[in-house]
Amino acid sequence: MKAPDKRAAALRAALERHNHLYYVKDAPEITDAEYDRLFRELQALEEAHPELRTDWSPTARVGGTPLSEFLPVRHKTPMLSIGNAFEADEVQAFDRRAREALGVTSIEYAVEPKFDGLAVSLVYRDGPFVQGATRGDGTTGEDITPNLRTVRSIPQFIKAAGQLEVRGEVLMFRKEFEQLNARQREAGEKEYVNPRNAAAGAVRQLDSRITARRQLRFFAYALAQVPAKMPPTHSRALEYLEDLGFPVSEEIDVVQGVPGLVAYYERMARKRDRLPFAIDGVVYKVNRLDWQEKLGYVSRAPRFALAHKYPAEEQATEVLGIDVQVGRTGILTPVARLKAVFVGGATVTNATLHNEDELRRKDVWTGDTVVVRRAGDVIPEVARVQKPGPRRPEDRFEMPKHCPVCASPVVRVPGEAATRCTGGLYCKAQRKQTLIHYASRRAMDIEGLGEKLVDQLVENNLVKSLADLYALPREALVNLERMGEVSTTNLLAGIQKSTTAALERFIYGLGIPGVGEEVAKILARHFRSMDALLRANWAGLAEDKEAARKENAKRKKRGEPPVAVPLEGIGPEIMESIEKFLHESHNREVVARLQKAISLEAPAAGAQTVSVKTFVLTGSLSGMSRDKAKAALEAKGHKVTGSVSKKTDFVVTGEEAGSKLAEARKLGVKVLSENEFLEMLKSL
């Protein structure tokens, strides 16, 4: 008989090979019973010889001890979302922009299905799988390594030295989804809406043993980091991943130009219903990786990739009634209650009618048969009336005169289609949505403060404004449904953690209409304190902006450097919205109470007074990561872009600088070494 260590190694290799054959190649060589026999033998060996256990053993795929929380993981390279296209002319425009930016007449594209699952990142170090994470907000995700170990199509060990990062999609095949819902029905439990929700919920379980029971699949679609030299094209990178044992979709192809893109889109549309998994479109990527780097990024999306979505799915059903929902900003939205219908991969019982004007234009009444449209995660909407109902006087919708939640008067906003509740943060509906927004990851990031708990806090009058979060009594929380000691401790810890926060997160978290993340950053850089923002002279700022623009027009003619434009990027409508929000007495009272509970961290002093410079980072920096370098520049009020142009002021080069360095030299852009950059950073 072989020594235990050699037998264990042989069993691991055999089990992983059979996992790959079954889950990746769909070509099993042994029966399930034979696989189970080998698995039990390995389990027995590891129990008898604990020193033989490894994190990447096939026995780790059954799940382990439940976690208390997911730890944050900062992505070395951001996991960005891809821009969407729905029409052929949008695809043509994407190709034209790419060709013009690259200076070529035709582009080769890698094309692939757009999986309807959950994006994840896998990191391997000298062979073993060491970390798996969700996309999160694109910069920081959640460590879900124990859960991803249970996904049998993800290799536990690869034959590659150094660190390698793979990105892909975790999903559930239609067949396994139907089996899961059958088990849910038999157990008398709630069924899942669609395969994507079932997969996403399984991946984010604190108990990895639950994940293991969901029969999830994985497909690799990108190579983010490789220890050796990167392959020259995206398609070659996928071939490399396949050689290492990663599952890659058989539907991936390489095409030339717009005709090739459109032909692939149409081909996949015909095959869509026959695929074992759900897709909601196809993805186009410029195949050459050096061209991808040259094209770079815009905002939160790459310029070298596009998701071409399929049209929304439609089904007919009956309108049972029309209700009104009150949103976070007080807008009243008419919503059609529907006879349940399956459309776009989900069972739909409600669909938005947007606003009173849209409802009148479509002429929707209770009792009508309507066509409901849904695509992917888009909110279902009533597209049109297919057949009018009896249309009695009581079937016609009328916008209420008072808020259905707080009974405050409602007003029609001049110049808008919106009708708003005047109850402000006193309205429970607005209060709930404001709390959820305030606690969200990109705002104050309060772990554990979800929708169901917020409902209880508001309904029990424990939270009447955002400031009440910081005075929640422990004894009241413990007695709430599904709370208890552990959940209460975790929630209070999350709230305490939020008492130190970046100013821009706090501003964003207040939920000021029109103020998203980027506007919040601009406000934080300009004012640097909440007190200064509250004291702002908005009329004076508008005059200063106009004066700076006129001055820059003169300087441009004289060839002189521009002066900084105050609040550049914030238009007059948003400025008016901010002013109205901050001048409302109740909002000022809430902000004052929040300031007593929270220590706000402002951006670097003086950032708003400097002339904004545009930087491009290329290559690996040894003194800090590129993410940190970007954050440091943005904190000082400067811009970091992904591609070099005539408007670029500096290109910072690290080790293995690529085509951006050549482009900078070609355009005469100032090139900085890492040491020169670090010295400049001190004085910016």
CB of 338 within 8 A of CB of 317?
yes
Domain with CATH 1.10.287.610 in the chain: 4-53
Domain with CATH 3.40.50.10190 in the chain: 613-683
Whole-number Å distance between alpha carbons of 684 and 49: 60
- Specify whether 639 is catalytic: no
526-527-529 Cα angle (round to 5): 140
User: What's the one-letter identity of residue 503?
Assistant: L
Which CATH number does 314-421 carry?
Answer: 2.40.50.140
Q: Among 316, 315, 310, which residue's Cα sits nearest to residue 272?
A: 310
Domain at 424-498, CATH class: mainly alpha
Lowest average pLDDT, out of 356-360, 399-403, 546-550, goes to 546-550
CB of 164 within 8 A of CB of 82?
no
Tokens of 467: 């400031």
Which CATH number does 613-683 carry?
Answer: 3.40.50.10190
Whole-number Å distance between alpha carbons of 122 and 75: 11
- What are 508-532's pLDDT values in tens digits? 998 887 788 878 988 998 898 999 9
User: What's the one-letter identity of residue 600?
Assistant: L
Whole-number Å distance between alpha carbons of 499 and 501: 6
Q: Among 675, 642, 657, which residue's Cα sits nearest to residue 302?
A: 642
User: What residues does 171 pair with on adjacent strands?
Assistant: 217
C-alpha separations of 522 from 383, 570, 635 in Å: 38, 8, 10
pLDDT over 60 (residue 81): yes
Catalytic residue of the set 25, 114, 557, 670: 114
Q: Among 308, 287, 245, which residue's Cα sits nearest to residue 92?
A: 308
When the pLDDT of each residue in the chain is averaged and rounded to a whole number, the result is 85
Span 320-324, mean pLDDT? 95
- What are 117-132's pLDDT values in tens digits? 889 999 999 999 999 9
Q: Among 344, 360, 349, which residue's Cα sits nearest to residue 317?
A: 349
- What are 172-208's pLDDT values in tens digits? 998 888 888 888 877 777 777 778 888 888 888 888 8
Top-confidence range, 9-23, 245-259, 408-422, 585-599: 245-259
Which CATH number does 504-607 carry?
Answer: 1.10.150.20
576-578-584 Cα angle (round to 5): 100
pLDDT over 60 (residue 312): yes
pLDDT over 70 (residue 560): yes
Domain with CATH 2.40.50.140 in the chain: 314-421
As a whole number of Å, the end-to-end CA separation of the chain is 70
Give the pTM: 0.53
CATH architecture of 4-53: Orthogonal Bundle (1.10)
Q: Among 244, 247, 58, which residue's Cα sits nearest to residue 158?
A: 244
At residue 16 the predicted structure's pLDDT band, cuts being 50, 70 and 90, is confident
User: What's the one-letter identity of residue 576?
Assistant: E
At residue 104 the predicted structure's pLDDT band, cuts being 50, 70 and 90, is very high
Tokens of 372: 């409901």
Domain 84-309 bears CATH identifier 3.30.470.30:
yes
Lowest average pLDDT, out of 53-62, 66-75, 354-363, 454-463, goes to 53-62
